[in-house]
Structures are given as structure tokens and as C-alpha cells.
């Protein structure tokens, strides 16, 4: 999926700061997911599934060149229950229909398959920056940031169960690299004292498919009369004939 302004922002101090944290967390989140097919939608400039051991790893999106499969993320060209892992880095908050994209990801996942989502946290200093006067109108401030609570509600509706959550990038979104490096001391403190307030989050959810319970009809039980047992003739052992 092509996001205007993303490439130039990734070359800034903010972009490198966020991407370093995200790549570390994504590597940890996908390294223990096994199967046959893995799909990355978003940030096709980077191989974010490199730490995963699935042999068939593909990039899908609307732009050609860096992707293996050109498609609309809202209508994935994959069979239902055919993919083991779907990675969505910064796709939902920069889409006009994020719920449909997540619904499609759930559709193509196999039972017990995983979806990994990376996004900007609206309840953070990065989210507050968007509401300040004179905020730039380009990436990443032009996105519709989705809260973790909202995504959890969507997970419940789609039968997805959250099994991993991480937040990072607690430093203010400074443009100057010197100041950004100074504020990075907040990363260690933020992980201990205000975990939900990180500028970026990663969520991993698993697709649960509950088994059906077969209800048998209540057949009327008929009692079969017991057969009377015929008496067995006893053979008397008497004295021998004279």
C-alpha cells in the first residue's frame, strides 16, 4: 500500500527512530509463527518478514515494483483460510476503510493464524502533536490514528484474540536528531511507568475458531423387556449303581 510522504519521512530522524523500534518488535513478533504462507501489506520498501521462517513470504499492495502482488487490501486475492500470517504496518490508520482491511485479513487467515498490526498511538505525545496548531499536514500527522482499545473491539467482532501487545517510542516527536536522542532516555522509563503512552504500538492477534457442539435429538428410549431365563436342570450326582 502506497502512503504519500512515507519515503521522505523515513529518511528523517523521526522516521529512523520509529523504524528502528518497529523492526525490532516485528522481528520478535513473527519469529515464532510457523506455517506455509505469510503476507506483508504495507512498507514494501522493507522486508519486515525476514525473521519469519515461513518459506512463502509475499508483499502485497496497490503499488507495483516493490510488491509481489498488486491488489486492493480491501479485497485480497487469496482464498479464505489460506494464509498463516498477515502483517499490517501502518496500513489501517492511513486507509479510508481500515475495518474492511482488517476483515479481509481475518478472512484469509487460517484458524489459529496470526495478524500483526503496527500503528501510531493517538494517546501519546505523537498523537497530541496532531492536535497542536501549525501541525504539518503530511505523513505521519495526516493519519487517522486508531487506539488500542478500538482495535480490541474490532478483534472481538471478528473473532480475533489479542495475544501480544507492545508500545515504544516515548520520546517527543522532535525534528532535530540531537534533541530526539536526548529525549530517548524516556524509552526505558516509559516501558516501566506508562506503557500505554508510547508513540507507536504493535499488536498480535490470533484467529480463534470455536468448535461446533453437535446436539443430538432426544430420542425416546424404549425399555426392552427382559427375557425370562429358563431354569437349568441340575444333574444330581448320586451313588453309583450296584
Question: Which has more confidence, 135 or 197?
Answer: 197
Question: Which has more confidence, 64 or 47?
Answer: 47
Query: Mean pLDDT throughout 232-240?
Result: 55
What is the structure's pLDDT at 95? 93
**Sign of the CA dihedral with 137 first, then 143, 144, and 146 last:** negative
Residue 212, helix vs strand vs coil: coil
How do residues 53-107 score in pLDDT, each as one tens digit?
999 999 999 876 689 999 999 999 999 999 999 999 999 999 999 999 999 999 9
What is the structure's pLDDT at 230? 59
Residue 97, helix vs strand vs coil: coil
Q: Where residue 233 falls among pLDDT bands split at 50, 70, 90?
A: low
Whole-angstrom Cα distance, residue 188 to residue 169?
10
Domain residue limits, the chain: 6-207
What is the structure's pLDDT at 137? 81
Asked whether residue 164 carries a pLDDT value surpassing 80, the answer given is: yes
What is the structure's pLDDT at 192? 67
Average pLDDT over the chain, rounded to an integer: 86
List beta partners, residue 205.
Answer: 115, 162
Closest C-alpha among 89, 104, 85 to residue 37: 85
pTM score above 0.75: yes
Q: What is the CATH number of domain 6-207?
A: 3.40.50.150
- Only one residue has cell 504495507, namely 42
Asked whether residue 212 carries a pLDDT value surpassing 50, the answer given is: no
Asked whether residue 163 carries a pLDDT value surpassing 70, the answer given is: yes
Question: Which has more confidence, 45 or 210?
Answer: 45
Amino acid at each position: 500500500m502506497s502512503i504519500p510522504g512515507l519515503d521522505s519521512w523515513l529518511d528523517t530522524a523521526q522516521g529512523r527512530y520509529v523504524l528502528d523500534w518497529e523492526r525490532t518488535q516485528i522481528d520478535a513478533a513473527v519469529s515464532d509463527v510457523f506455517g506455509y504462507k505469510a503476507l506483508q501489506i504495507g512498507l514494501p520498501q522493507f522486508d519486515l518478514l525476514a525473521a519469519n521462517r515461513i518459506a512463502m513470504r509475499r508483499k502485497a499492495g496497490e503499488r507495483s515494483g516493490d510488491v509481489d502482488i498488486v491488489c486492493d487490501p480491501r479485497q485480497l486475492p487469496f482464498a479464505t483460510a489460506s494464509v498463516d500470517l498477515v502483517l499490517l504496518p501502518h496500513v489501517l490508520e492511513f486507509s479510508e476503510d481500515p475495518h474492511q482491511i482488517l476483515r479481509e485479513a481475518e478472512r484469509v487467515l487460517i484458524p489459529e493464524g496470526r495478524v500483526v498490526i503496527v500503528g501510531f498511538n493517538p494517546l501519546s505525545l505523537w498523537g497530541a502533536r496532531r492536535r497542536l496548531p501549525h501541525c504539518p499536514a503530511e505523513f505521519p500527522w495526516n493519519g487517522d490514528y486508531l487506539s488500542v482499545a478500538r482495535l480490541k473491539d474490532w478483534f472481538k467482532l471478528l473473532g480475533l484474540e489479542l495475544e501480544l501487545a507492545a508500545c515504544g517510542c516515548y520520546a517527543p516527536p522532535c525534528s532535530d536528531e540531537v534533541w530526539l536522542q536526548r529525549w530517548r532516555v524516556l524509552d526505558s522509563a516509559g516501558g516501566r511507568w506508562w506503557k500505554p503512552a508510547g508513540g507507536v504500538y504493535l499488536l498480535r492477534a490470533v484467529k480463534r475458531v470455536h468448535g461446533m457442539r453437535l446436539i443430538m435429538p432426544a430420542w425416546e428410549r424404549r425399555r426392552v423387556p427382559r427375557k425370562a431365563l429358563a431354569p437349568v436342570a441340575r444333574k444330581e450326582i448320586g451313588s453309583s449303581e450296584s
